[in-house]
Structure 1
Amino acid sequence: MKSVVLKNLGTNEKKVIERPQNTIKNDFVFIIKSNYFNENYIPSNSTRKTTNFANLARGMNRQENLRNTIQMINNRFNNLAKWDNPNHDRYSVELEIISVDIDIDDTGTTFPSIEILKTHINDHKTGKRIEGIVGNNFSSYVRDYDFSILLSKHNKNKDSFSIPDNFGELHGNIFKCFVNSETYKEQFSKPPVICLSVSSNKTYHRTGNHHPILGFEYKSNKSSLTEEYFDKMGLQVRYFIPPNSVAPLAFYFFGDLLSDYTNLELISTISTMETFQKIYRPEIYNANVVAGLCYNPSLKNQDYSLTKISYDREERTKLGVEQGKFAEEHFIKPYKSFLEQWSSSFSV
């Protein structure tokens, strides 16, 4: 595959266009755009409104929300990176929003497929800007379609819950196609790490395995639908509760999570995603009781604290269905036969 990099210096926006060969397997053009998450951040029209960072940049309190979120991330980073950092102010984190669009038939008509975050670490002692981890948050319209539309239709008027055939395969293949593309490899030096909440439908058991940054590892012998979905993206999962956290995080990754990333890289992901989870799932991640040896996370927990960052949780839930319908109308239905053929023949 060939790729072309376009830069718009006036808007700090960078685009990468990958022009593939004319075969079913490679018949995607990936377009990467980037923007920075700061107090002046305004979501693009193609960004899902329920995405963690976009949801905060709405309403009357948008700038206050953004400032407080960034401060929480920086405070947590310095709390974990304690060495040679006596005043807990050596580092700050920059978040770059990576938006990936697909031009299926190379006509210039694109669909927003994936949105992730890339962390950058500013070391104010040395003056260096250190590359962090790409991934972190994960946003996808096709995922909204799968969970909010396809899964709902499949189980309508049924006595027992079941999963449609090939559920998540198209989405997983698109993700693997992107991560294995020349475009991804030219822009990012390491595979992505996605960091999500643990499931409220599972029980987790703390092990004796301890990592200096990730903390104690938790394990569960039951798989969740989300884990099965991410498995089709080629990702494996491990659970860790970082120092001074109250609940474990789920880390989805390729390769070796403990060996492939530096301490500062891992801290950038923890500080970013734990902050978002404290805002959106305070019942779990801002609980007043720390997870024990046997842990059952619950969104019904009442013993928790709220952050000063406001958002409309009910609206966020409703928008998920709207986003799924958007994917169905503009991507799934118009290209149904092609997507089915492409996905069935796809291989890494």
Structure 2
Amino acid sequence: MNKEFSCSIKRIRFDENYHPADSTRLTTNFANLARGEHRQENLHKTLRMINNRFNALAHWDNPTADRYSVDVDIISVDMDIAGKGDSFPIIEMLQTTIVDHKENTRIDGMIGNSFSSYVRDYDFSVVLLDHFAKNPASAPPEDFGDLHGKLFHYLLNSEAYQANFTKKPVICLSVSSNKTYQRTTNQHPVLGVEYRQDGCSLNKGSLTDEYFSKMGLTVRYFMPANSAAPLAFYFAGDLLSDYTDLELISAIATMETFQKIYRPEIYNANSTAGEVYQPSLKYQDYSLTQIVYDRAERSQMAVKQGKFTEEQFIKPYQDILDEWAASYDVASHAAKKEAVKEKAVKKQAA
């Protein structure tokens, strides 16, 4: 089955005037911050934290620590499965743009950063919970995450994505509180000290790591300078050479800020991760940010949104999705897209 799905990309600026769109997953960090009586104050403080962290890391030729600011856009991807104009919001990510006030220029930042997905909610909050309820001592289903991974690959190879972005996304998430991390001697000038997950190769480990590997993403863990804990960076290609220092800094500044707000026990702890580190959400020695954030609501909404996805996306298009996923080969589809692109370039050159 060589069915083509239609992808469309929308963007909205995450600033002090941001209001979540109706299609936005309500459990996203940025949507949660932008509701309630403290919304504008929350947004102002969050953006200030991002800018301060960026300038602290991009300290060269920046003596007053105010050379840069970061613009953040929410990137929403809709997909039309049946070709009838009915789109479903598949994925939301963030794109950063760096404003250099000294040179009066705008510089492309990172695409990715945060990662929100209704289908991921469905997988973890419906499929996985149902599986473990029936099979308490078993491993996750063998095909767990297959559909989501293929949809993600399809998006990256789509004309819509490639028309908007020149690089593949880097997703920056929290480390797992169920795993232990070992500090290595490897140190990057921007990303900081590298950690390894105990007993795991670079591409295996937590269930999240394995889920993201089906999206074609490898994980590495780095703790930037003056951070309390390492961050998990999920990427395709070479994290250290495919992205500029400023791109990497924009990802750190943005996502470390969200993690300090959402997981202060880990990322706003009053002590830093040691050589052997196991994150804990029960850790008591941490500081709160001055930003109001409803973590209870966030955890409760994931199940509701998973069921919403089941009713509005999985069940209506089950047959189409099953047939497509069974025949979709990631490598051959990417090669086909690349061949079409090369042919178009040669035709244009001629």
Q: TM-score normalized by structure 2?
A: 0.91
Give the corresponding residue for 1:245.
227
Q: 1:159 to 1:105 in 2, by over 3 A?
A: closer
Say whether 1:130 aligns with 2:107. yes
Give the corresponding residue for 2:168.
191
Which runs of structure 2 are paired with 1:104-253 in the superposition (5 Å)? 104-220=81-197, 221-222=199-200, 223-253=205-235
Give the corresponding residue for 1:342.
324
Which runs of structure 2 are paired with 1:55-70 in the superposition (5 Å)? 55-70=32-47
Q: 1:84 to 1:205 in 2, by over 3 A?
A: same
The answer as to whether partners of 1:287 and 1:303 remain within 8 angstroms in 2 is: yes
Partner amino acid, structure 2, of 1:192: P
- Specify every segment of 5 or more residues in structure 2 that has no aligned partner in the other structure, as ranges: 331-350
Give the corresponding residue for 2:260.
278
The answer as to whether partners of 1:93 and 1:122 remain within 8 angstroms in 2 is: yes
Give the corresponding residue for 1:82.
59
Which stretch of structure 1 is more off in the superposition, 158-167 or 174-183? 158-167
* Whole-angstrom CA distance in 2 between matches of 1:161 and 1:304: 36
Secondary structure at 2:115's aligned position in 1?
strand
User: Post-superposition shift, 1:278?
Assistant: 0.2
User: Post-superposition shift, 1:157?
Assistant: 4.5
Q: TM-score normalized by structure 1?
A: 0.92
Give the corresponding residue for 1:99.
76
Which stretch of structure 1 is more off in the superposition, 226-235 or 306-315? 306-315
More helix by share: 2
The answer as to whether partners of 1:27 and 1:105 remain within 8 angstroms in 2 is: no
Secondary structure at 2:21's aligned position in 1?
coil
Secondary structure at 1:60's aligned position in 2?
coil
Which stretch of structure 1 is more off in the superposition, 113-122 or 156-165? 156-165
Give the corresponding residue for 2:26.
49
Which stretch of structure 1 is more off in the superposition, 211-220 or 179-188? 179-188
Give the corresponding residue for 1:301.
283
User: Post-superposition shift, 1:161?
Assistant: 4.1
* Whole-angstrom CA distance in 2 between matches of 1:280 and 1:345: 39
Partner amino acid, structure 2, of 1:244: N
- Specify every segment of 5 or more residues in structure 1 that has no aligned partner in the other structure, as ranges: 1-23
Say whether 1:330 aligns with 2:307. no
* Whole-angstrom CA distance in 1 between matches of 2:206 and 2:3: 31
Give the corresponding residue for 2:343.
none
Q: 1:136 to 1:79 in 2, by over 3 A?
A: same
Secondary structure at 2:63's aligned position in 1?
coil
* Whole-angstrom CA distance in 2 between matches of 1:335 and 1:231: 25
Give the corresponding residue for 1:268.
250
* Whole-angstrom CA distance in 1 between matches of 2:43 and 2:138: 39
The answer as to whether partners of 2:184 and 2:196 remain within 8 angstroms in 1 is: yes
| Percent identity (aligned) | 63
Q: How many residues align?
A: 325
User: Post-superposition shift, 1:162?
Assistant: 2.5
The answer as to whether partners of 1:96 and 1:119 remain within 8 angstroms in 2 is: yes
Task: Show CA shifts across 1:2-21 (max 9, x none).
Answer: xxxxxxxxxxxxxxxxxxxx
Q: 1:327 to 1:66 in 2, by over 3 A?
A: same
* Whole-angstrom CA distance in 2 between matches of 1:285 and 1:25: 45
